[in-house]
Amino acid sequence: MKMLLTSAGVKNAAIRDRLDSMLAKPVSQSHALAIPTAGYGHPMVDPTRAHSFISGQGSETPMTELGWASVGVLELTALPSIDADRWRTWVRAADVLLVNGGDALYLAHWMRLSGLADLLPSLTDMVWVGLSAGSMVMTPRIGDDFVEWQAPSGSDEALGLVDFSIFPHLEHPRLAWNTLSNARRWATTLDGPAYAIDDDTAISVIDGEVEIVSEGQWEFLPAPKPTPASAPAEDR
């Protein structure tokens, strides 16, 4: 599966060009499934956000409104009540999954519970386009600063399908906390590398190769260095 992990959707020409290159067919011939699930888990998101994501009306995060041949809605919380062979047929018939923002841990929970997480490795030609939490869900950890919905495990672990974490919406004018200094501090709480990306930046992952696509600001945040173990008392 190919991944285009964005902070705010297909916001500019560079991200759109990368999406076009990842698809096997032009957007106008490609069939999309929109996954709104993450929005329902975050306290800052209400049903109007789900509507704007699905409809593409009034959205500041372009995803469904790009001119797809068709757009369907795949609500993960409904999948456990549907025959698995039925909804898996819908997913396999799609060319791209458009995954809304909201709460990454809530999304990860329902991806696991629905069975979508188990299906993803077999979708070798699929393109996953994540928006904020829809991107963070693919990472090993989101960090405690981004935890809103509490996972049953109590941890901040997401799906771990990539080996880096993501700090989205860098220096966003309406998100005062999302500064570069806070991103750097957040990264020290993780046990792996991370990227801080603004809304004009995306991360492309194809066959394990990671590439930044940006018309904005981003920074690579290396994994924290291990703290040396304390010497035994008798050696001090």
Read off the pLDDT of residues 169-226 as tens digits, 9 standing for 90 and up: 999 999 999 999 999 999 999 999 999 999 999 999 999 999 999 999 999 999 998 7
Is residue 235 predicted with pLDDT exceeding 70?
A: no
Q: Is the pLDDT of residue 133 over 50?
A: yes
pLDDT of residue 232: 53
User: Which whole number is the average pLDDT over 129-142?
Assistant: 98
Q: Over the Cα atoms of the chain, what is R_g?
A: 18
What the chain holds in terms of domains, given with CATH numbers, is 2-224 (3.40.50.880)
**% of the chain at pLDDT higher than 90:** 88
Average pLDDT over residues 73-101: 97
Tell me what pLDDT residue 236 has: 43
Strands 201-206 and 2-6: antiparallel
Model confidence, pTM: 0.94
* pLDDT, tens only, 32-66: 999 999 999 988 888 888 899 999 987 789 999 99
Average pLDDT, the chain: 94
Q: Can you give the pLDDT at residue 179?
A: 98
Instruction: Write the DSSP assignment of 22-74 as a string of letters.
Output: HSSS-GGG-EEEEE-GGGGG-TT--HHHHHHHHH-SS-SS-STTS--SEEEE-
- pLDDT of the residue at 231: 45
Confidence check: pLDDT of 109 > 70: yes
Residues 96-102, mean pLDDT to the nearest whole number: 97
Tokens matching residue 185: 């501090």
Is the pLDDT at 161 greater than 60, yes or no?
Answer: yes
Contact 25, 96 (CB under 8 A): no
